[in-house]
Amino acid sequence: MATGLRQTAGSAPQRMNRPGRIGAWCYDHRRIVLAAWIIGLLAIAGTASGLGPHFKDNFGGTGQAQQVQDILHEQFPSRSGDSARVVFHSSDPIDDAVTDRITEALNGIRPLPTVISVSPPVRADEGHTAFATIQFDAVSADLAKADVQRVIDTARSYARPGLDVALGGPPISVAVKPKPGPSEAIGIGAAVLIMLVAFGSVVAMGLPIFVALIGVGVGYAMVALISHLLVEPSFGPALMAMIGLGVGIDYALFIVTRYRQALTDGLDPREAVVRSMSTAGRAVLFAGTTVLISLCGLFLVGQPFLDGLAVGTILAVLTVLVATVTLLPALLGFAGRAVDRWHVPGLLRSGTASAERGLWWRWSRVVQRRAVLCGSAALLALLILALPTFAMRLAFSDSGNDPAELTTRQAYDLLSDAFGPGFNGPLVLAAELPGAANDHAVLTGFEQRLAGLPGVARATAPSYNASGDAAVVTVYPTSDPQSADTAALVDRLRNTVVPQATAGTGVRILVGGQTAAGTDESAHLGMRLPWVIGLVILLSFVLLMAVFRSVAIPLKAAAMNLLSIGAAYGAIVVVYQWGWLSSIFGVTRTGPIDPWIPLMMFTITFGLSMDYEVFLLSRIQEEWRRRRDNGAAVAHGIAATGRIITAAAAIMVCVFGSFVIGDPLRTLNVFGLGLAVAILVDATLVRMILVPAIMQLLGKANWWLPRWLDRITPHLAIEQE
């Protein structure tokens, strides 16, 4: 079939741009395109299944904690791996029979693969609980799941009525994960209902869902494959599914809407595909590019696990983007005019693009007539929502946030009740003693300082290496690993206690361990966040300026998006850090915000917010160029995009929100709520109130660009009908 110019009865010939030509080719060769996607999905999924995933929760190492790890590797090879704790709790006070069974359990664990040593049991004063430390030969990220599971199974095989056995610590988390929740199913179900209401047609509703699922399926397999090359955390696939589903459904929704409009205008199905791809398809490509640019900001952080998350999410967005511009036109070719078949009685909506004098046009005019009042009210609301952001505390959450049925949570609670919460996150102090025996007295004095130090529950005696020039001390805080008090203790040890104890000597004492490593990593990521924000905003500013030939529009977009992300940050602080509305969101224990979440939230939210900015402003710009009437252009843009942006945002909110109620992993709960709030705020307070209010107040200044800047700025365009 011809793929150049075509004309249908009652329509003028259309000039195709590149997305239009891609759409026409995929329409004409729809069987080949569909077969290629199915074969590709099966091939890549089969390869990924054959190799198996290789996810690793390795969150890197920086600062003193990494130096401690290096010292342990060189001077104490047997302690260079991570340690776990096996906890025994008896309903009656521990007697000789229980002691014998504990001894048998520990003897059964000692010869297992990857286990270097098992310490003698330590009994709590309350007489019902004891624990022992299991030292592994590698850090958690390098341990095989099967080996860790064998340790767990062996230890728990010694449980009996009246004697509970639980295991905790980073190595145990390698094998113990909460079961996946129904998040994706809930999100897809909500999207189906929203699109049925928006389209009224089963076929029109099903196309975006099918395209998104195919794209996410390919993306999941690709993430599993790259986990062999990059550090990909275990929650990476769920994060990829969250973003891929939301983006994939939204992008396909915009194109299907334009396709139905074209059919209503009298075009045949092929020309309707060309028009929808030449307009909405081009806008989708641009919007997807902004998301990819935002995600690239994560590479500035320089942490392997964030590189893995960035690559995985980029692949997810890229896959659904390619599926939208290739697979969707092919499916529209199969659907043809039957896109509105099997409609829901009373819900079928015309595909007409005319919204003049409709609800959204009238709403825009109300806001424009009261621009100062409406804009001020929306701005005040956003600032209030963003205020808790300044109280955000970044730290890795501990096992106390795990579901109650997991052995890691059970061990955490047993240790906390019997010994104190700090026993779940001991600090490991490494000392270098260049004077060998002469410096042992310094370390003895330091140990005495620790005994009376506020915040320290217990400190072990120094353990020396064979040559006596290095030692290790384990310190148990009084507070839990994610507590601000524990972070303060780490700072006090490093900045006050250690310098005072070693002043004038050659002794060097460093504070490390998993808890201190989390503190160092949080500080590192917190310092990199402003750089990521700055780069992403700068690139987006240049991109929007090149498209809309304006200085005010990209400045406004950057400010509005920062307000949206500020409101999202505020929401997660209020719910998960302060515990407000905890019963509604199922928060059983408050805690800090994992430090990678604000980074990922910003890059993804900024990119998705730019999607709506592009779809709205491109319509406003189109009308401005036609009439040169700023007020009418703003009202027309709101009217033309209000319904579709609202539907798209509702789908995003449901997909992201489903991870709040349908996933047992706290990090995904926090991430889902943040993204849901950001999109909700962006599509309501920002797009439907602040944008029309500010653009009304700025008037013609919206479209001002200095001549010298116009000359040096490249020209980009999103073609419109």
CA atoms within 13 A on the CB side of 191: 33
614 pLDDT more than 70: yes
27, amino acid identity:
Y
Q: Is 160 helix (H, G, I), strand (E, B) or coil?
A: strand
* Angle CA 211–217–223, to nearest 5: 135
172 — pLDDT class (breaks 50, 70, 90): very high
- pLDDT tens by residue, 394-409: 988 888 888 889 999 9
Question: What pLDDT shows up at residue 112?
Answer: 95
- pLDDT tens by residue, 51-61: 888 888 777 66
17 pLDDT more than 90: no
Question: What pLDDT shows up at residue 345?
Answer: 58
Question: What pLDDT shows up at residue 578?
Answer: 94
CA-closest candidate to residue 265, choices 201, 354, 344, 343: 354
Question: What pLDDT shows up at residue 717?
Answer: 67
11 — pLDDT class (breaks 50, 70, 90): very low
> How many CB atoms lie under 10 A from the CB of residue 491?
14
Do domains 1-51+183-353 and 63-178 share one topology? The answer is no
Please tell me the distance from the alpha carbon of residue 517 to that of residue 70, in angstroms, as a whole number.
13
Q: What residues contact residue 19 under an 8 Å CB cut-off, 6+ apart?
A: 277, 278, 281, 282, 285, 325
Is the Cβ–Cβ distance between 461 and 447 less than 8 Å? yes
Burial class (CB in 10 A: 0-12, 13-18, 19+), 580: middle
CA-closest candidate to residue 317, choices 250, 248, 230, 249: 248
Please tell me the distance from the alpha carbon of residue 643 to that of residue 646, in angstroms, as a whole number.
5
555 pLDDT more than 70: yes
105 pLDDT more than 60: yes
436 — pLDDT class (breaks 50, 70, 90): low
Q: What is the mean pLDDT of the segment spanning 338-352? A: 61
Question: What pLDDT shows up at residue 1?
Answer: 35
Is the Cβ–Cβ distance between 486 and 515 less than 8 Å? yes
Architecture in CATH of 63-178: 2-Layer Sandwich (3.30)
Question: What pLDDT shows up at residue 593?
Answer: 93
659 pLDDT more than 70: yes
Tokens matching residue 288: 């997807």
Tokens matching residue 444: 């003895």
Tokens matching residue 394: 């970044």
720 — pLDDT class (breaks 50, 70, 90): very low
Q: What residues contact residue 245 under an 8 Å CB cut-off, 6+ apart?
A: 184, 187, 188, 191, 212, 213, 216, 655
CA-closest candidate to residue 673, choices 695, 651, 689, 658: 658
- pLDDT tens by residue, 201-260: 788 888 888 898 898 889 888 888 888 888 888 888 888 888 888 888 888 888 988 898
Please tell me the distance from the alpha carbon of residue 187 to that of residue 246, in angstroms, as a whole number.
9
Q: What is the pTM of this model?
A: 0.85
Mean pLDDT of the chain: 86
Q: Which residue did the predictor score with more confidence, 719 or 690?
A: 690
Pick the CATH number of 427-512 from 3.30.565.10, 3.30.70.100, 3.30.70.270, 3.20.20.10: 3.30.70.100
Continuous segment of H or E residues that includes residue 378 = helix 371-386
* Angle CA 50–34–38, to nearest 5: 10
Question: What pLDDT shows up at residue 652?
Answer: 85
Question: What pLDDT shows up at residue 571?
Answer: 95
288 pLDDT more than 60: yes
Please tell me the distance from the alpha carbon of residue 467 to that of residue 76, in angstroms, as a whole number.
11
**Domain 1-51+183-353 listed as CATH 1.20.1640.10:** yes
Please tell me the distance from the alpha carbon of residue 375 to that of residue 353, in angstroms, as a whole number.
28
Q: What is the mean pLDDT of the segment spanning 404-426? A: 93
Please tell me the distance from the alpha carbon of residue 188 to that of residue 213, in angstroms, as a whole number.
9
721 pLDDT more than 60: no
Q: What is the mean pLDDT of the segment spanning 179-198? A: 78
The structural domains of the chain, with segments of one domain joined by +, span 1-51+183-353, 63-178, 356-402+522-712, 427-512
Q: Which residue did the predictor score with more confidence, 200 or 629?
A: 629
Question: What pLDDT shows up at residue 607?
Answer: 78
Question: What pLDDT shows up at residue 43?
Answer: 93
Please tell me the distance from the alpha carbon of residue 317 to that of residue 298, in angstroms, as a whole number.
15
Cα 263 from chain centroid? 39
Q: What is the mean pLDDT of the segment spanning 653-667? A: 84
Instruction: Classify domain 356-402+522-712 at the CATH class level.
Output: mainly alpha
